[in-house]
Amino acid sequence: MGVKLAVKMINLDPRAKIVIVLCLSTLAVFFNTPGLLLIVLIITLLLLQIFQVKYISLIYKFRRLLPVLFVLLFIQSAFTGHGQVLVAFGDVHILTTGGVSSASCVLLRMLILFGSAMIIATSNSRDYVLALVELKIPYEIAFMVLIALRFLPVFVQEAKDTLIAIQLRGVDMQKVAWGKKIKVFTYIFSPLVSNVLLKANQLAISMEARGFRLYPRRTYLRVLKYNSLDYLITILSLSITLVVLTLSIIR
Amino acid sequence: MIFMKMVQVGFSYPGQKKPLLNDINFSIHKEGITALTGPNGVGKTTLSKLMVGILAPSTGHITLKGQNMSSMALAQIGRLVGYVFQNPEKQLFCPTVSEEIGFGLQNLELPEHEVQRLVKENLAYFELEHLAQNFPLQLSEGEKRRLAIAAVLVLEPELLVLDEPTTGLDAYRKHLLGECLLKLVASKRGVFMISHDSNFIDRYASRILILENGRLKENGC
Ligand SMILES: Nc1ncnc2c1ncn2[C@@H]1O[C@H](COP(=O)(O)OP(=O)(O)O)[C@@H](O)[C@H]1O
Ligand SMILES: [Mg+2]
């Protein structure tokens, strides 16, 4: 049963997934109390659970942000005077409930945004292009998006390789000062840009050589269809979000 | 003295079920030209990347001059082992050919005139003088490879690792490369090269290793 549901959800139309993500992120941006945000986060995590996405590693990655959050916590406490004072040093407020709540809001929001982005990642990038085509976006543009997505990992890999080559020629990244690090990054950039231009050029030539854009329409081997589950989910998420938003505005 | 030693090294890329490399044991002394051959995709490039610390072994360990390689920074390894990528484009990143050759030297805190002298010398040796101010990524394949080799050799590493260095070189440039490798060997340095070029191997290699099904065999010739 669980597996079957997961398969159904993963095969959801990409447009339905976009709707879910838009709803979640709208709520995340709109709410500004930790309690409500926590509820949205729990819903996000439940959805991730249904999609069978392993989200534990995401949460684990966020530990790197903790120092930033602590700084935020103290700054918010010291300068926005609202809430009760928990810790004070003379006249300076070190920790206030207002500070705690805004820092936790930031954390929760980020978790929700990243978590819902992981829902998007359960569809193949190709499907999003098909979704764009269905939305009557010209296929030249849809194709450009597809190619950008397709080549992104290649370029990331290329940048990593260049960084390795630079280190092998005697630059110790752990030891160079910050100013010099920026210089190193300019070294990574120039081959990258030149490669991107070169690849784009070659690709354009080989695509035209194979008849791309000869005719205004193109045959797609896979056609997206919005089925009943997609409609159900779209309507459900939109209406819940709208109801929740109106309720909280009225109150 | 043993320069580099692999002990029971195994390696697999993330998500691979069967390990690509299995129980690899071998030592390299700083002498002669060692050639590594084997069919496409057996993991020769992967093995060479392990040798310079770009990849870390999944099992076993590698020592360089008696020190465990996993505790060394790439920059440290790069001083001892020079590496020429299979695709030379990957290691060209400077705006001009002469800067490309000078890049490593500038990191050694050499005086400027010394850097310039060495750059000139190498430009001449690899016949790249007329291209000194060109953009490296717009050179021809063979020129890119010569430049990549020059940029690494100028640092005078004790061991030079080359991944399929003869691809894209014409007969005359192959000969030049071979002579250059022999010169290195004469100055008490080691060369480790991956190659399919049996003529080149027969002519220059003093030791031949064969990689097959994840295991390494030594060809006693
Ligand atoms: N970064 C990588 N991630 C996953 N698999 C890889 C990666 N690099 C190479 N491989 C795979 O490992 C195998 C060996 O590759 P490689 O060492 O380049 O072979 P060779 O140089 O002997 O032709 C190939 O099957 C290749 O597809
Ligand atoms: Mg290879």
Residue among B202, B203, B205 nearest B192 (CA): B205
- Give the ligand with the smallest distance to the CA of B36: 1
* Pairwise CB contact (< 8 Å): B74 & A158: no
Nearest-ligand number for the alpha carbon of B37: 1
Is A81's pLDDT higher than 70? no
Q: Do B108 and A167 count as a contact with CB atoms less than 8 A apart?
A: no
Burial zone of B12 (CB within 10 Å; 0-12 exposed, 13-18 middle, 19+ buried): middle
Quote the ligand 2 centre to B43 CA distance (angstroms).
7
Beta bridge partners of A89: A92
Per DSSP, the residues of A57-118 read HHHHHGGGGHHHHHHHHHHHHHHS--S-EEEEETTEEEEEHHHHHHHHHHHHHHHHHHHHHH
Residue A143 lies in a domain: yes
Residue B119 vs residues A184, B104, B135: alpha-carbon distances, Å:
21, 11, 16
> Does residue A2 sit in the same domain as residue A80?
yes
> Ligand 2 is a single-atom ion; what residues have CB below 5 A from it?
B 45, 86
Same domain, yes or no: A167 and A180? yes
The answer to the question of residue A156 being in a domain is: yes
Helices (H), A121-250: 125-134, 139-168, 178-209, 228-250
Total domains in the fold of chain A: 2
Q: Write the burial class of residue B19 (CB in 10 Å: 0-12 exposed, 13-18 middle, 19+ buried).
A: middle
Q: Is A133 domain-assigned?
A: yes
Contact check, Cβ <8 Å, B74/A167: yes
Q: What is the pLDDT of residues A188-209, one digit of tens each?
A: 888 888 888 888 788 778 877 7
Q: Domain check: are A36 and A104 in the same one?
A: yes
Instruction: Please report which helix (H) or strand (E) contains residue A44, including its range.
Output: helix A34-50
pLDDT in tens, chain B (221 residues): 789 999 999 999 988 888 999 999 999 998 899 999 999 999 999 999 999 999 999 999 999 999 999 999 998 999 899 999 998 888 899 989 999 999 989 888 888 899 999 999 999 988 899 999 999 988 998 899 999 999 998 988 999 999 999 988 889 989 988 998 998 899 899 999 999 999 999 999 999 999 999 899 887 54
Asked if pLDDT for residue A167 goes beyond 80, the answer is yes
Position A18 in a domain: yes
> Are A41 and A108 contacting, i.e. CB atoms less than 8 angstroms apart?
yes
> Is there a single domain that holds both residue A113 and residue A11?
yes
Q: Which residue has the higher pLDDT, A82 or B131?
A: B131
A251 in a structural domain: no
Predicted-complex ipTM score: 0.81
Q: Give pTM, 2 decimals.
A: 0.70
Q: What's the rounded Cα separation, in Å, for the pair B9 and B20?
A: 11
Q: Please tell me whether residues A153 and A119 are part of one structural domain.
A: no
| Domain end call among A84, A101, A123 | A123
Same domain as A46, residue A107: yes
Q: Are A189 and A158 contacting, i.e. CB atoms less than 8 angstroms apart?
A: no
CA-based nearest residue to A118, from A41, A65, A64: A41
A191 in the same domain as A92 = no
Which residue puts its alpha carbon closest to atom 18 of ligand 1?
B45
Q: How far is A174 from chain B (nearest CA, A)?
A: 8
Question: Does one domain contain both A103 and A177?
Answer: no
Of A103, A123, A143, which residue constitutes the final position of a domain? A123
A188–B103 CB contact, under 8 Å: no
Same domain, A2 and A40: yes
The answer to whether residues A110 and A156 belong to one domain is no
Place of tokens 């191997």: B201
Give yes or no for A193 touching B (CB within 8 A). no
Write the CB contacts of B62 (distance below 8 Å, at least 6 apart in sequence).
Answer: B4, B5, B6, B7, B9, B50, B51, B68, B69, B70
> Given an 8 Å threshold on Cβ–Cβ distance, is B90 in contact with A161?
yes
Instruction: Give the distance from CA B154 to its chain's centroid.
Output: 13
Tally of CB atoms within 10 A around B107: 18
Report yes or no on A242 lying in a domain: no
- Tell me if B20 CB under 6 Å of ligand 1: yes
Same domain, A10 and A106: yes
Cβ(B13) – ligand 1 distance below 6 Å:
yes
Which residues 143-162 of A are in CB contact (within 8 Å) with B? 158, 161-162
Judge contact between B177 and B143, C-beta under 8 A: no
Q: Which of A87, A104, A123 is the last residue of a domain?
A: A123
Domain holding A19, by residue range, is 1-123
- Is residue B41 in contact with ligand 1, taking CB distance under 6 Å? yes
The pLDDT score that the predictor gives to residue A248 is: 84
Specify if A243 maps to a domain: no
Query: In this complex, how many residue pairs, one in chain A and one in chain B, have their CB atoms less than 8 Å apart?
Result: 69
Residue A3 in domain: yes
Q: Are residues A131 and A119 in the same domain?
A: no
CB B38 within 8 A of CB A134: no
